[in-house]
Amino acid sequence: MSRERKSLIERIELKGNFFLHYRVKHGNSYFFHAHQGIEFLYVHQGNGHALVNDQLVKMEPGTLLLFQPFQLHQIHMESGSDYIRTVLVFDPTLIDKQLAQFKSLQLFFRWLWHNEIPMQHFPFGEQSGEMERLLEVYHMALQTDVQELRTEEIGLCMIALLQLLRRSFFSKQDVSAFASQPRTLRYAEKVMQWVESHYQEQFDLSKLSDHLFVSPSHISRLFHKETGATISDYVTARRLREACLLLAATQLSVREIAHKVGLLSGPYFGRLFKKQFDVTPLQYRNRMRSLSR
C-alpha cells in the first residue's frame, strides 16, 4: 500500500471545486478515509464491499455509492479482478446554488447532503448504461477550458445525475419526506469538521476537546478507534492535501504555503512533505505543471 493511501483524506486534484477520477484502475483495499465534499463512487468493474455507518454494502459493476461530507468509509475489493471506478467529489454549496430554480430537486439534494438517508448504495442494473453515459459527459465537461462554460456544463450534469438518482430509487417518496432530521455525526467526523475550520492554525488539542466537551485523552482514543489513525495524523494529512493544491495552482513560495497550512517552519514542512510523497514540494510543483501542459 502506498503512502498516499494511508492519508485519511484521499488526495485529489482541484479543478474549480469539482474533482473527477474517470474510469481509474485501483488496488483492492483502502484505509478509512473521508472527503470534505460529497463523493459519488461508481463501479465500472470489480466486486467487493464498502464499510460505511458500520454497515457492509455490496459493490459490483453498475453500483453507485454516495458518501456525505466527512463521512468515514472504507473500500475492499475482491482480489483476482481489476477494480475500475469513477470518483466524483464536489463542494455541495456550489451545486446547491445552481439548484435554486428547481425547488423539489434542491430539497432532495439537501436531504442527500445533510440527513440520515435510508440507503447510500444504488445498484443501477439495467439502467447502468444511462449512468455510464452521464459520467462520460461529466468527464468531457471538465475538459472545457472556459471556466464559466465548464461550471455551467458541470451544473447541468449534476442536475441530470440527481434526476436519475431520484427517479430510479426515490420516485415514490413525497417531497416532504426529504425534510428529515440531520444525521448524527460520529466523533471522528466532528473532529474532521473542526479541523477543516482550524487546520491553518497551530493545532491545539485542548481547543478541540473543549469544542466537543470531552477530555483530550478521550477524544484521541475515540478518533483512533473509529479511524485507526491519530488526530495528529489527520491534521497533517489535511495540511498536506491543501499544500498540494496550493503548489499546483498558485505561485506562492514553499515558505508561504507552509504558513498558509498552519506550519510555521518552511524546512519542517519540506521534510514532512518529502516523507509523505517521496518528492520535495518544488519537485511536486514541477511535476504537476508538466502534466498540465
Q: Where in the chain is the domain with CATH 2.60.120.280?
A: 3-178
Say how many C-beta atoms besides its own lie within 10 A of residue 67's C-beta: 22
Distance of CA 103 to the CA centre of its chain: 26
Question: pLDDT, tens digit, for every residue of 142-167?
Answer: 787 777 788 888 889 999 999 999 99
CA-only gyration radius of the chain, Å: 20
Q: Where in the chain is the domain with CATH 1.10.10.60?
A: 187-292
In this prediction, residue 29 carries a pLDDT of 60
CATH number of 3-178: 2.60.120.280
Kindly give the parts of the chain with pLDDT less than 70.
Answer: 1-18, 27-32, 54, 172-183, 291-293
Which fold, 187-292?
A: Arc Repressor Mutant, subunit A (1.10.10)
In this prediction, residue 204 carries a pLDDT of 95
Long-range Cβ pairs for the range 114-119 (8 Å, 24+): 114/68, 114/182, 114/183, 115/178, 115/180, 115/181, 115/182, 115/183, 116/180, 116/181, 116/182, 116/183, 116/184, 117/66, 117/183, 119/169
In this prediction, residue 80 carries a pLDDT of 76
Q: Which residue has the cell 465548464?
A: 150
Say how many C-beta atoms besides its own lie within 10 A of residue 140's C-beta: 12
d(CA 235, CA 196): 9
In this prediction, residue 183 carries a pLDDT of 66
In this prediction, residue 208 carries a pLDDT of 96
Which strands form 48-52's sheet, in the order they lie side by side? 55-59, 48-52, 73-77
In this prediction, residue 28 carries a pLDDT of 62
CB 86 within 8 A of CB 20: yes
Say how many C-beta atoms besides its own lie within 10 A of residue 240's C-beta: 23
